[in-house]
Amino acid sequence: MEKSLKRPALLAALLIALIALPTVADAAGFAALTSLATRVLIYGIAAASLNFVLGYGGMVSFGHAAFFGIGGYTVGILYQHYSLGEPLFGFIPGTNQMLITLPVAVVLSGIMAAIIGALSLRTGGVQFIMITLAFAQMLFFLFVSLKTYGGDDGLIIRRANELPWLNMRDKHTVYYVCLAIAVLFFAVLWRLVNSRFGNVIVGLRQSEKRMAAIGLPAYRYKLVAFIISGMGCGLAGALMANFLRFASPDMMHWTKSGELMIMVILGGVGTLFGPLIGAAVFIVLESVLASWTENWQLGLGLILLFVVLYTQGGVQALGARLVGRSA
Amino acid sequence: MLSVAKLQSAYGPSQVLFDVALEIGEGEVVTLLGRNGMGKTTTVKSIMGLLKPLSGEIRFTGREVRGATPETVARLGVGLVPEGRQTFATLTVRENLVATASNRLGRKDPWTLERVYKLFPRLRERASQAAGTLSGGEQQMLVVGRALMTNPKLLILDEATEGLAPVIRAEIWSCIEALKAEGQSILLIDKNLHVLKRLADRHYILEKGRTVWSGTSNDLTHNAELVQRYVGI
């Protein structure tokens, strides 16, 4: 179904471009481009995770920022306990080792996704959208009120998590770490989407009843998909906290859920790399438009309207059609 | 294998089934006849758990399954080929067949992709094509193949040949014949009486939600008046 990986030449070119990006950016005098690209990669992971349930599974979650935030706060809270030297709850030592914080962030966001998913997947349609939104907002307000961890102001992480043999204070290194993780993430996602499990998830979107009549329990499959998706967002959140060296309630605000959704729609719902493209378009637009006008969202809104009304499947589909026409 | 007795079912306030009874034995091919709106599909839905019956008894392989969920009924070994072409349109033919395949009952000689392709060679040709792009007949073959890949004890075909070209129809009938020869139990709902008489062992006629007649193909052939009255052909 997903033919993206069957175009290895295009992918290899993209990968080489991404590997060369920091060097080229520095040489061309646009050093800021590396940071921009890092954000694109991180949001790409988050948006692709959301897309797994939204695009493939047809579950319109409006609360995925919750998992993004959980990932970020995991890194932030573990760092705070590490730097203060006080164990969390009196017995869990803090840490600044990325090899620990990332897996912990993924597991915690997975657990949270299991809880939120278990409750909200009992509903569907508009109720599902509203319940996921409500859960995310509950978490948002919880973290706003947690004064120990910065409350409204968020948590500052003085130094990014450490990885053995790498200098994580170097922007390029952080970029390459994110790139490596993104490559790994998309490889796993590709396998998942094309697996039997992925096929069932797509089938469920088309008809739950039909799946049930074949003997597959819709709820369980959807819950597993939701958990996987939450874990992906948690991973992205943990990376983002490392990149920004900051975790704040804003990471789980409902507008963040909306942004992730916009990236998915911009790029192409239900495609493997669409969300990554969507994240790139979103972030580039955000920085370009914001440099022109304070009301950059207005421009973004117009572009989103255009994409939804005229591209029939986001930037990815538009690109495919342009390529198809010239070929 | 399947025994239904005194089955009553309703869609909301309007009762459709009043007294349906039928019996299918191991390796038997049985049909459900009757004009449109007499409750054939409703009976299938009730058996499958897609509709909760009001009362009555549905036993499958010795287990009471009335009120069970569709998953449970399917897992016990009922494979449904529903009315209308219900493929998963964006998945390829191969994915449609493989994604939901299972052999929960541990059948010794399970259905494989290869066997389904042998039964429907057209599906092999279309293996990597999206199911939604197939012709109606091919989609119907795909749904039959998908049901077989779950290795059902009982296969239910609800209007499997409706609206298909005669050539395709003949192809599906010959497949059903092949399945019968293998000893597959089948419940058929269809309107092609002449084929059904040849293919099936026994028949049930539904009239306004009640089983009003049952008998063998032979009985049916010698009872033209009955056919005229209830089936209207």
B158 Cα to chain A: minimum distance (Å): 13
**pLDDT at residue A227 tops 70:** yes
Q: What is the pLDDT of residues A299-323, one digit of tens each?
A: 888 888 888 888 877 888 888 777 7
Does residue A294 lie in a domain region? Answer: no
**Structural element, H or E, at residue A207:** none
Q: Which residue has the tokens 């943990």?
A: A238
Contact B91 A214 (CB under 8 A): no
- Token pair listed for A320: 């495919």
Task: With CA atoms as reference, report the closest residue to A311 among A297, A298, A321.
Answer: A321
Interchain CB contact of A163 with B (< 8 Å): no
Q: Is residue A321 part of a domain?
A: no
Residue type, A219: Y
Average the pLDDT over B133-151 and give the result. Answer: 94
B75 close to A (CB below 8 A): yes
HSE (side-chain half, CA atoms, 13 Å) at B7: 36
Query: B108 near B148, Cβ under 8 Å?
Result: no
A270 in a structural domain: no
Mean pLDDT across A292-297: 83
The answer to whether residue A313 is domain-embedded is no
For residues B17 and B7, the answer to whether their CB atoms sit within 8 Å is yes
pLDDT of A134-155, one tens digit each?
Answer: 999 999 999 999 999 989 999 9
* Chain A residues with beta carbon closer than 8 angstroms to that of B75: 215
- To the nearest whole Å, the CA of B52 is away from the closest chain A CA by 14
- CA–CA gap between residue A167 and residue B78 (Å, rounded): 60
Q: How far apart are CA B98 and CA B88, in angstroms?
A: 12
Confidence of residue A6 (pLDDT cuts 50, 70, 90): low
Higher confidence at residue A312 or residue A259? A259
Partners of residue B88 in chain A, C-beta under 8 Å? 199, 202-203, 206-207, 210
Q: Does B74 sit within 8 Å of A202, measured CB to CB? A: no
* Residue A3, pLDDT above cutoff 60: no
Question: Does a structural domain hold residue A93?
Answer: yes
Report the amino acid identity of residue B202.
R
Look at residue A326 and tell me if it is in a domain.
no
Q: Which of A196, A202, A213 sits opposite B48 (nearest CB)?
A: A213
Three-state SS for B223? coil
Predicted confidence at residue A197, as pLDDT, reads: 96
Q: Give the pLDDT band of residue A327 (cuts 50, 70, 90).
A: very low
Q: Please, are residues B78 and B186 in contact by the beta-carbon 8 Å criterion?
A: no
Amino acid residing at A46: A
Q: Is the pLDDT of residue A2 over 50?
A: no
Is residue A42 in a domain? yes
Mean pLDDT value across residues A26-55: 94
Q: Name the H helices within chain B.
A: 40-48, 70-76, 93-99, 113-119, 121-125, 136-148, 166-181, 193-199, 217-221, 224-230
**What backbone torsions phi and psi does residue B10 show, to the nearest 5 degrees?**
-145, 150
Neighbouring-strand partners of residue B23:
B3
pLDDT above 90 as % of chain A:
71
Higher pLDDT, B143 or A86: B143
Is B103 at the interface with chain A, CB within 8 A? Answer: no
The torsion angles phi and psi of B89, rounded to 5 degrees, stand at -60, -35
Domain count, chain A: 1
> Does the residue A269 lie in any domain?
no
A285: exposed, middle or buried (C-beta count within 10 Å: 0-12, 13-18, 19+)? middle
Q: Which of B102, B175, B101 is nearest to B140 (CA)?
A: B175
Domain extent, residue A64, equals 4-254
Mean pLDDT of B205-218: 92
Write the single-letter amino acid at A308. Answer: V
CA distance A230 to A216: 22
Position A7 scores a pLDDT of 75
- Chain B residue numbers touching A200 (CB-CB < 8 A): 99-100
Q: What is the mean pLDDT of residues B211-226?
A: 88
E strand spans, A91-164: 155-156
Characterize the bridge pairing of strands B29-33 and A155-156: unpaired
Would the pLDDT of B23 be above 80?
Answer: yes
CB-CB under 8 Å, B92 with A1: yes
Radius of gyration of chain A measured on its C-alpha atoms: 20
Token output for A226:
């939701």
Q: Which domains does chain B have, with CATH numbers?
A: 2-230 (3.40.50.300)
How far is A68 from A226, CA to CA, in rounded Å? 14
- How many A/B residue pairs have CB atoms within 8 Å? 65
Q: Residue B11 belongs to what H/E stretch?
A: strand B2-11
Q: In angstroms, how far apart are the furthest CA atoms of chain B?
A: 49
Q: Would you list the DSSP string of B92-137?
A: BHHHHHHHT---TT--SS---HHHHHHH-HHHHHTTTSBGGGS-HH
A12, containing H or E segment: helix A8-28
The DSSP secondary-structure symbol of A160 reads: P
Q: Do A199 and B95 touch (CB under 8 A)?
A: yes
C-alpha atoms less than 13 angstroms from C-alpha of A320 in its C-beta half-sphere: 16
- Say if the Cβ atoms of B90 and A207 lie within 8 Å: no
